[in-house]
Structure 1
């Protein structure tokens, strides 16, 4: 049987984000990387049934959390229970994870430089703290894309005004880890529209000035 080409599937799920006593309505991007037989889900947000349906019967190899804000992980345990896939999180985000899921720990740890193989491509973990201590991005050179969670958006860095976040740290992460990628790399974000490394790189100094 011929193997199918690797691809990225996308769905948007809706729910809420809560932290520091506030709650906001949000739409989240859920990314599925794989081929016709297997896949990895990046950020199981809000609706496990919708994500499982989007998998279309493929074997789910892992549920990768870019960080542990509740809007990115709220559906992860249900999706893991439905599919048997492990939940992977950087250990620096365990305090945030426990705010949402105190009785269900992740199944494995993400570490900077670690790789995940699925559907003929390799995802490399980039630890990019700032929005959250254990925030990571997933770089897939074969698909010329990076999944940035809430670290980098079209138009600037993710928010750093709440607990567990730090503006100078996110700037360092973006400068050193993301803007060093090839300029044509597509940036697939946790919310909103994609962009490219090349489109965002010229604006770094503006963000620094804006953030002070």
Structure 2
């Protein structure tokens, strides 16, 4: 069972602003089948990483354009379904007005790939439909833009809320084992145990 990272580059656009970003695209699986978490920017690079393996699902941690802009092309080329929490439908339609996701993701859903289960945790705040994927057998959680090394994801733009993201992190992520590796949507990995002591500092800074 492998966890692979492909870093793709492009632009994040929201509220009239545009920023250059590097995104982590995660592939979880073995030599026969994989799941892609966040099809960002470059469908060809992701397809090259998938290779001749079966792509079981394209799971979106949220629907900001930089996390979903390559998803329809990837789905069309592979036949894999796109999973998205319906609370992010409005954000999705800003990017893909003519293509709906294939599967509504819900809290507690499970994605199974190569005998390993990824459990969906609904963690709103950065976006209403933000989710994380927890793989207890791998000792890792894929957090999208909910939790990074050093703090929560941004909440200064439309559809986001600071108190909500703090509650999501406190209630859904920090109870995970301290050794759980946090694989983020941008930047470096961290661990639950490295981030949990900082919760009160984040709250103080946020307000």
The TM-score range, normalised by the shorter chain, is over 0.9
Per-residue CA deviation, residues 125-145 of structure 1 (Å, 9 max, x unaligned), is 000000000000000000000
State the partner residue of 1:66.
61
- Unpaired stretches in structure 2, ≥5 consecutive residues: none
Task: Name which of 52, 70, 80 aligns with 1:57.
Answer: 52
Alignment of 1:1-212 (within 5 A): 6-212=1-207
Shift of 1:194: 0.2
- Unpaired stretches in structure 1, ≥5 consecutive residues: 1-5
How many Å separate the matches in 1 of 2:183 and 2:67? 14
Runs of 4+ in 1 over 4 A off after TM superposition: none
How many Å separate the matches in 2 of 1:65 and 1:204? 26
Aligned length in residues:
207
Shift of 1:120: 1.4
How many Å separate the matches in 2 of 1:112 and 1:125? 5
Query: TM-score with structure 1 length normalisation?
Result: 0.97
Shift of 1:7: 1.0
Query: TM-score with structure 2 length normalisation?
Result: 1.00
**CA RMSD between the two structures:** 0.3
SS at match of 1:192: coil
SS at match of 2:24: strand
